[in-house]
Amino acid sequence: MKKQALINYLLHLADNALILGQRNGKWCGHGPVLEQDIAITNISLDLIGQARNFYQYAAQLQGNNATEDTLAYLRDTREFKNCLLAEQLNGDWGQTVLRQFFFSSYQFQLYRQLLQSADSTIAAIAEKSLKEVIYHLRWSSEWVIRLGDGTDESHERMGKAINNLWMYTGEMFMPAEYELTLIADGIAADIKSMQPEWKQKIQEILNEATLPVPGDTVWMQTGGKEGRHTEQLGFILAELQFMQRAYPGMEW
């Protein structure tokens, strides 16, 4: 039972990174300027690397010929446990950097806590990933400020982006069933306790960006961690998994 909870938790962490990495990767060749095209794809690569680490560990625990590839390419939407925020549309550049900002500030807290995980593999992956997330957080914070406190148009677009994405931010701090047992054992991060500090960081940056901070009464969408996803995930997986599904076992 506990082993299954751990596997589910690892898949959740991996899926978060993979799906957001996949979303960010879609900017490749389409970035607003070359250097930022490179930036978003670099972030994408870091995220996919994190996903690989978690998938490899999960596959090891699962046994039965599971590999990082079978886990990433052969599970369907109901089995994916990523937060809904990761699968939302890229939208315009403003929405993408805002999504990254919300997510990276969450990952920053998460990995900092996981450094203390009772599971040494998770702690090691967190130690590695935290260094990269610090860059992601800095980059996305700077962009939120640039665009929020930018032109009238960029300011307006950032406002719309906040409205689009805010309802998906609550889920990151609501533990799933499989997380509860692991939190008690000191393996998983106590995400609920992270929320105040996260909110503080968000306020700090949005204030500097002259953007409004949504109130606490906004209804939060949930379900991603349990496999209940928005329609977006289907399209993402259809693209991600097509080759493996069409040509099972294929390799480059």
Partner 1 sequence: MLNVQWLTASPEEYVMSDITDISTQKIWSILEEVVDTEVPVLSIVDLGIVRSVITKEKLETGKPGTTEIIITPTYSGCPAMDVIRIQIRLTLLLHGYENIQVTTVLSPAWTTDWMSEAGKQKLKAYGIAPPNPSQQVCNTRLFAEEAIQCPLCNSYNTRRVSEFGSTACKSLHQCNDCHEPFDYFKCH
CA quadruple 66, 4, 195, 118: dihedral, nearest 10: -90
Contacts with 168 (C-beta within 8 Å, 6 or more apart), sequence order: 83, 84, 85, 88, 220, 221
- Token pair 């399209």 in the structure block, residue: 235
As a whole number of angstroms, the distance between CA 120 and CA 180 comes to 19
Residue 179 interacting with partner 1 (CB under 8 A): no
Residue closer to partner 1 by CB (options 87, 132) is 132
Q: How many CB atoms lie within 10 A of CB 118?
A: 11
C-beta of 50 vs 88, nearer to partner 1: 50
Tell me, residue by residue from 80 to 119, as one string, x for binding to partner 1 by CB under 8 A and - for no binding.
Answer: ----------------------------------------
Considering only 25, 26, 74, 142, the residue that binds partner 1 (CB under 8 A) is: 142
Query: 91 in the Ramachandran plot: left (φ > 0), alpha (ψ -120 to 50) or beta?
Result: left
Instruction: Enumerate the H helices of 116-151 as residue ranges.
Output: 120-148
Write down the residue that tokens 């959740």 correspond to.
12
Is the CB of 73 or the CB of 135 nearer to partner 1?
135
128 binds partner 1 (CB under 8 A): yes
> Is residue 39 a contact residue for partner 1 (CB under 8 A)?
yes
- Determine the size of the site formed for partner 1 (CB under 8 A): 35
* Interatomic CA distance for residues 37 and 33, integer angstroms: 6
Chosen residue from 13, 43, 211, 237 binding partner 1 by CB under 8 A: 43
- Candidate residues 2, 138, 192, 228; the one interacting with partner 1 per rule CB under 8 A: 138
149 binds partner 1 (CB under 8 A): no
Q: What's the residue count for the chain?
A: 252
- Minimum distance, C-beta of residue 39 to partner 1, in the bound complex (Å): 4
Span from 45-53, 71-79, 169-177, 230-238 in contact with partner 1 (CB under 8 A): 45-53
218: Cβ contacts below 8 Å, ≥ 6 apart: 166, 167, 170
Q: Is 134 in the site for partner 1 (CB under 8 A)?
A: yes
Under the binding rule (CB under 8 A), the answer on residue 35 touching partner 1 is yes
Nearer to partner 1, 16 or 221 (CB): 16
Q: Does 23 bind partner 1 (CB under 8 A)?
A: no
DSSP structural state of residue 227: T
- Rule CB under 8 A: say whether 67 interacts with partner 1: no
What distance lies between CA 152 and its chain's CA centroid?
29
Tokens of 188: 């998983």
Residue 46 interacts with partner 1 (CB under 8 A): yes or no? yes
Q: Which residues here bind partner 1, judged by CB under 8 A? A: 35-36, 38-39, 42-43, 45-50, 52-53, 56-57, 60, 120-121, 123-125, 127-129, 131-132, 134-135, 137-139, 141-142, 145
